[in-house]
Chain A
Amino acid sequence: MPTSQPVLRYKQPEKRYDVIVIGAGLHGLAAAYNLARYHRVGRIAVLERRYIGFGGSGRNTEMIRANKRAHETLPFYKESLEMWDGLSAELEWNLMVQKKGLIALAHSDGELAVMRMLSDSQRRAGIKIDMLGPEEVKKMVPSLDVSDKPALPVAGAQFHPEGGTVHHDAALWGYAKAASRCGVDICAGVEVTGFYVEGGKVNGVRTNVGNIAAGKVHVAVGGYSSEIARMLGVKYPVVTIPMQVMTTEVMAPFLDYYVASPRLHWYTQQTLKGDLILGGQLDPWQSWNSSTTWQECSERVAFILEYFPDLAHARVVRSWSGLCDCTGDSAPVMGPSGIDGLSLDIAWGYYGFKSTPACGKYAAEYIATGKVPEKIRHFGLDRFYNRQRVREIII
């Protein structure tokens, strides 16, 4: 029986580091861990203004998948999905990886056409994908109404067997624990308020507890990226939009898969604990406020209930919301910032959880070598200036 060993070890920041990572979300922690473990870059600190997992990393709906649209980025997402498998063992912490399978519903022939296209593109990238008819979906999800009762009946679905979930808190604490053990200083309550930039090169950061020098600074602040931009006097191609989700009381296992309707913007899964997670839609406006609204929650529930009518008496116990920094092409910004020594891993919107392992790996590689790794080449800021935006959006 393990005794109580510290899992989270917060430190007071020192005056100087070789690398500063801003933000103790998953992306910041993963980058710091990978740097410390696989690269020789000297002393590393993660500066976090609240606590580990305050941002999207502690609020997301835990979906992991690789069935994205833009074929040029599929290898990245595929690798990230595969990396989760070995991560529990590597971090010596059970991340509760469940590759339970993701079912994405289509409600019309038109949607099926898009889905077929995505499926083929994903198969060509080596991702396992099946197309299902309504009856097959019904067999896998008996509680789903595939009849013509819903206004938009289920016309078919895409099945992504390797998609699933990872416990987000477990991932946070696993990375934090492993990073600390590799010598990373994780400093909570430290807010970056400005930068020292000289001759186009970053020298350090200003914080609420004093200045900290560093030749390399990595920005992984999730939904807050535009605040960093303002400190630097620039703008980023993002708008911050909250996303709301809900959870219910526990029920005996009845839903084995993650079920989603991309068209109607809802998804639901049953966690190991037995509660349902319900969500799937960004708020309709920009906001930096993470409280929830009745209109959004009730509309989401109305959609989901239409397809799971037997859940009419299941009960929602909690709703919450988190900030997502979203680009117009639904792809992130990773790599150079235009300032020497300052690297970006931002704009992960509502899809950054699944990408954590690969982001950690490639962010660290970029920070250590200064060369943009091939797999994240498409995520650069330059894409907005040469019509190279990532074709992630489905219309």
Chain B
Amino acid sequence: MAGRLPGCATQVLDRARPVRIYFQGRQVDAFEGDSVASALLASGIDTFSRSFKYHRRRAPSCLSGQCSRCTMSVDGRMHVKTCQTSVREGMSVEPHGSVEFDPKSLADTFSWALPTGFYYKYFYKPQWFWKRVKEVFRAMPGNMATVRPLAGKSRIDAVNLSPEMLVVGGGLAGIEAAITAAQAGVRVVLAEADGWLGGFDAFQGEAGHRRAQDSIRRLREHGNVRVLTSTWVSAIYPDGLAICVQSCGGEGPEGVLERVFHVRAGTTVIATGATSVPPLFENNDRPGIILPEAAQRLVHLWGIRPGTRILLAGGDDYLARVGLELIDKGIGLAGLADYRESGPDEALRARLSEHGVRIWSGYKVTGSHGRTRVEGATLAALGGSDVQTVACDTIVASSGRYPRHKLLGQAGARMAYDSGLNFYLPEDVPRAYHAAGRLLGLEDPEAIMAQGRVAAVRALEGLGIDVGTMGQEARQALERPSPLRAVSAQPLSTEAGKKAKTFVCYCHDVTEKNVEQAVEEGFSDIETCKRYTTATQGACQGGMCEANFTHVLARKRPELGSRTLPTTRPPVASISLGAMAAGHHDNPQLSPLHHVQLEHGGRPMRLGSWIRMNHFGDELAESLAVHQAAGICDVSMLGKFRVFGPDAKKLLNRVMTREVGNLAGNKILYSSSCNEEGILLDDGVVLKMGEDDYFVTTLAGRAPVTEEWFARWCREEDWQVHVVNLTETRAGMNVAGPKSREILSKLTDADLSNEAFPFLTWARVKMAGVDVIAMRMGFVGELSYELLCPSSQAGFLWKRILEAGKPLGLVPFGIECLNICRLEKGHAIPGLDTDGFTNLFESSFGWMLNRTKTETVGKPMLELFSDRPLKEQLIAFSMDGKSPVLDGCLVVKGPRQLGRVTSIRYSPLLDKTIGLALVEPDEDWREGGKVRLWLGEGREVEAAFAKPPFYDPSGGRMKA
């Protein structure tokens, strides 16, 4: 087949621009415009891949991205459909595995031993045998890509588009639909899988080419159509989202490899065309057996001879027409086998005969033979008599037509089989979708174009767009009848091939016999048969095999009556993980103090959606500094809210376990909240800023949940209350330690003395010129001020405080130190020291339940169970010195598992390891009791039960 036909207008090649690519290291000469597959075929390469089960030679059969038999690794990227990939200078192309010599092809010879589902029927015992066999299984499949480290990340862009209309398919119907919509003034996106427009007509010789060019020229007159070529619409979701993946060819950081368009169109016209159904005969998978469309593409687009002696086979005049085109190009024919008794149309037959082409009417191909590719075919009359052998190097064959219906199916349409036409036609197409063109079985170009216009008109009308006289004209044009032409299905032999294989599903090497056997074994409905045989489940996802699969099944089970197709699931065209992931980014939240803390040596870590500082080099030293001098810690991630309005109190009394109504003056109310089960959710403080005006804090990172929670508890009320999330507007820092008053006093005129500003009160102060809300709280057990300031000034204030505090020993500290200090005080953190089952009483927060108010969320359940024994409780314990016990350690008692350590840290101040544990109630939880921690089989350590706080039990230090 080597050598090219002379150039002509229909070709997509630029012969002035040669391109070299490398196939297995060997140079292959190509032209700009070639696909990798066309270049390889032109250079005489026959075998592209080895098949999945039997390692048979496989080569392109569709050249339109549907059969997946041309996939190879290109420039290190696996599973590339070479027929859909344009050549680029220096491209390196490798098949998946060795194709020329493949020892595993022995599987083909021994396939008699591998009946349908053989892997279920054998090897069920003994276990050890299966363990060995499965390793053999893993290594067996053909055409397996190898995962290799990638040099770098390819650039894959994600783009959102929302045109009024999306047109899928750039053939005559699609183009016409796009033009119609463009004329109506709407924005259109037209997606076409090929690198050019024209669809079927692009490769229908000169006449088709002219038609296509004419349409394209008219399309180009419209500025409001965005044409995306080399773009597969991978999936359509019923809410109108279409995923269109364009291959852009670029590699490396600057070149874009793929572009993923997320298209949300108001309406969609699907004009994806139809395709020939592969023929069913023995060894119908040999290289050299191609679909008629593929033959036409080779000849008209790339100027490649499919072969030198071509046998045409099928039951459709289309094949005769393709034969005449081949003759026209000077390509030799071995004849035409037509399984219709009547044979091809009179005129076509006459013209073929003129050229001395032998025609067998009422004959079908029953098998092929050859070594590396087709060398001949056997024909037989339909009844099976008169078997003949014909020498040929290529078989161009089809056994009917099949709509490329999958996108339509995904949009929600049903495909109904029309037995008269032997074609599937859509039914119940959802409102925003319209089908057009060859997809509907149309063949006449005029009818296809008219129908494309009608589809667009209907689509526009569906959008409520005035189409003026266009609608009238389009409909009139369609009134000229263009009846669908029946294409007869290939008659199946009464008996599936005895020995040689007739492939139904190529991707998974499923034969006609396999399907029949499955039905005999009871796998008779389409879904179970599909799973048992694995037919239609391979790379082509049924695109090439569904028609034959249902055909064979229907013959075997005529009682099923109507033919159904397997469920269509996205994607219709395989899509790379890179393309799927495009546009996803991690968006962590940064505190306004993030950068200034990094400057001061903070070690960041991710906690939920926030990035926080774990420590600043030495958490133990930090904790000692807090106790001896002072420390400063970023607490900006606390949720902060303003809750105000005449009904603010009502809302807060619902979500808070304590009574808010009594809050007066500058007091701080420390409270918690529960869900309806009484499970502890959150703790925080409430400040009263004015009449019906409250400021509320919640746990770090919980702001979005809290906001939703507050909204949830007034969603059915007609209350005058408003909640504003201030979290990002206010930074928070905790300045703690015996020297904190002295340090902060340097920056403010306000009186920070204990008398003027006692524990558990708050004040508005100006600090270093910044407006600050200061709260005296005791989370870390020392005198401390929690300062809330505008986020914009947080960095400034932090620096000023550090400057002022440095001479007095102030250090920045992170959450590790915070953990040590709060454990010294025995403070539990909801969600960390409690879990989704711990109710308020079981946590250490039970004292916060106001028993008199009834509206508290969770209170009914807490009351109902208040007289029953607790399921668990939070206890504290300690050990001398440093212990290796870590968070999560189990608390046990003999065989019983009582619970787990929720937080445990070494306190350098106490020289003790102290912790909290969430455990079942037990008699040991008393003064002098032991807490047994499980370190592994036979290894336990004991800790002493303790009543917190471990440090400053009277609280004198924090209240000082």
Contacts and interface: CB of A to CB of B under 8 A. Distances in A.
Direct contact of A and B (CB under 8 A): yes
Interface of A: 1-2, 4-10, 51-54, 58, 71, 85-86, 88-89, 91-98, 107-110, 112-117, 120-121, 123-124, 143, 151-152, 167, 169-170, 173-174, 188, 248-254, 272-274, 291-294, 297-299, 301-302, 304-306, 309-320, 387, 389, 391, 393, 395
Contacts of B122: 94
A249 B574 contact: yes
Contacts of A387: 865, 868, 871
Given A6-B520, A249-B79, A312-B154, A89 B836 contact: no
B542 to A, nearest CB: 10
B837 interface: yes
B54 to A, nearest CB: 14
Contact of B605 (A4, A86, A108, A174): A108
A314 to B, nearest CB: 5
Interface string B119-155: 1111111110010001001110101111111100110
Contacts of B153: 309, 312
Nearest to B262: A294
Given A151-B606, A317-B541, A389-B837, A97 B521 contact: no
B601 interface: no
Interface in B35-94: 52, 71, 76-80
Contacts of A71: 897
7 contacts: A89-B125, A95-B124, A249-B79, A252-B139, A252-B146, A274-B144, A391-B835
B250 interface: no
A2 B115 contact: yes
Residue with the greatest number of chain B CB neighbours at <10 A, chosen from A9, A273, A297, A395: A273
A251 B130 contact: no
Nearest to B135: A253
Contact of A108 (B531, B606, B865, B888): B606
Residue with the greatest number of chain B CB neighbours at <10 A, chosen from A54, A293, A314, A395: A314
A151 B78 CA distance: 26
A306 B584 CA distance: 10
Interface in B837-890: 837, 865, 868, 871, 886-890
B503 to A, nearest CB: 17
A268 B80 CA distance: 22
Given A94-B120, A151-B588, A173 B532 contact: yes
Interface string B99-112: 00000000000001
Given A294-B237, A301-B577, A313-B576, A89 B888 contact: no
Interface residues of B, number: 95
A387 B836 CA distance: 12
A76 to B, nearest CB: 16
B934 A120 contact: yes
A8 B569 contact: no
| B interface, over-half SS | loop
B528 A51 contact: yes
Given A173-B532, A302-B584, A316-B577, 5 more contacts: A110-B832, A115-B888, A117-B888, A151-B586, A272-B137
B221 interface: no
A294 B241 contact: yes
Nearest to B133: A94
Given A10-B522, A317-B571, A110 B887 contact: yes
Given A89-B125, A249-B79, A272 B149 contact: no
A53 B531 contact: yes
B422 interface: no
Given A8-B522, A88-B127, A292-B569, A316 B149 contact: no
Contacts of A116: 886-889
Nearest to B119: A94
A21 B767 CA distance: 74
Contacts of A188: 525
Residue with the greatest number of chain A CB neighbours at <10 A, chosen from B130, B145, B538, B936: B145
A281 B243 CA distance: 21
Nearest to B587: A151
Contacts of B522: 6-10
A79 B122 CA distance: 26
Given A93-B124, A320-B569, A315 B79 contact: yes
Contact of A250 (B130, B145, B528, B584): B145
A301 B237 contact: no
Contacts of A315: 79, 574-577
A298 B144 contact: no
- Among all A-B residue pairs, the 8 with the closest Cβ atoms: A8-B522, A113-B887, A302-B584, A117-B888, A113-B888, A151-B586, A312-B578, A302-B581
A107 to B, nearest CB: 8
B238 interface: yes
A53 B528 contact: yes
Contact of B936 (A88, A123, A169, A274): A123
Contacts of A306: 581
B539 A249 contact: yes
A71 B570 CA distance: 40
Contacts of A95: 124
B491 interface: no
Contacts of A391: 835, 837
B539 A317 contact: yes
Nearest to A8: B522
Contacts of B127: 85-86, 88-89, 97
Interface string B887-923: 1111010000100100000000000000000000000
Contacts of B525: 51, 188
Contacts of B143: 250
B235 interface: yes
Nearest to A254: B147
A250 B78 contact: no
B686 to A, nearest CB: 25
Nearest to B146: A252
A91 B124 contact: yes
Contacts of A316: 571, 574-577, 580
Contacts of B520: 4, 6
A273 B508 CA distance: 10
B540 to A, nearest CB: 9
Contacts of B831: 395
B578 A313 contact: yes
B145 A251 contact: yes
A124 B939 CA distance: 12
Contacts of B605: 108
B472 to A, nearest CB: 38
Contact of B121 (A94, A97, A124, A298): A94
B453 to A, nearest CB: 31
Contacts of B76: 313
Interface string B595-616: 0000000000111000000000
Contacts of B584: 298-299, 302
B937 interface: yes
B537 interface: yes
Contacts of A291: 237-238, 569
A271 to B, nearest CB: 9
Contacts of B570: 292, 294, 297, 318-319
A96 B134 contact: yes
A312 B146 contact: no
Contact of A314 (B524, B576, B606): B576
A110 B606 CA distance: 11
B527 interface: yes
Contacts of B144: 250-252, 274
B347 interface: no
Contacts of A114: 888
Contacts of B900: 117
Contacts of B22: none
A54 B527 contact: yes
A9 B145 CA distance: 39
Contacts of A117: 888-890, 900
B417 interface: no
Nearest to B605: A108
